[in-house]
Amino acid sequence: MFPISMIIIHSTRGGQVEGVEMQATINWFLNPDSEASSHIVIGKDGRTIRFVNDEDQCWAAGELNAFSLQVELEQPDNETEFTRVQIDNLVTVVQEWMAKYSIPITSVLGHDQTSQGIAQGKTDVGKMFDWIWFRERISDD
């Protein structure tokens, strides 16, 4: 098992219409040629699918993969709002991981806030994600 010390939140950004984006992400992660994965994907409808066990490394954030847990939120483009059920499920997942692995709130980041994301010009989780409200939720619930 790798030393888990960070949680990275991504958004899918596949550009598909609602209802197709989630399935396209599932198909992409199941395709070995994609060389991409995430521990968990959360759909706009709240559906939560695990792809990689916590103790295994996923492939979503370069060198940060070695010590991070990662979750993808279905979001076809950077203008699409996240849903309440989607964020509620994200709060649950993140709180469980924070408690289980003693991850501080300061180590819960969007892909666009990581060194790897900044270097590569990543824009997810992006402007539609309300970090202030989210951080209040994961620290108070």
Count of structural domains, the chain: 1
41 found inside a domain? yes
3-state secondary structure of 86: helix
Per the CB < 8 A criterion, the answer to whether 48 and 93 are in contact is yes
Q: Is 57 left (phi over 0), alpha (psi -120 to 50) or beta?
A: beta
- pLDDT digits 0-9 by tens, 26-61: 999 999 999 999 999 999 999 999 999 999 999 999
Q: Residue 123 has what DSSP assignment? A: -
The CATH number covering residue 79 comes to: 3.40.80.10
In angstroms, how far is CA 33 from the centroid of its own chain? 21
**Range of 44's domain?**
6-140
71 found inside a domain? yes
- pLDDT digits 0-9 by tens, 70-115: 999 999 999 999 999 999 999 999 999 999 999 999 999 999 999 9
Distance CA 104, CA 138 (A): 10
Q: What is the pLDDT of residue 19?
A: 74
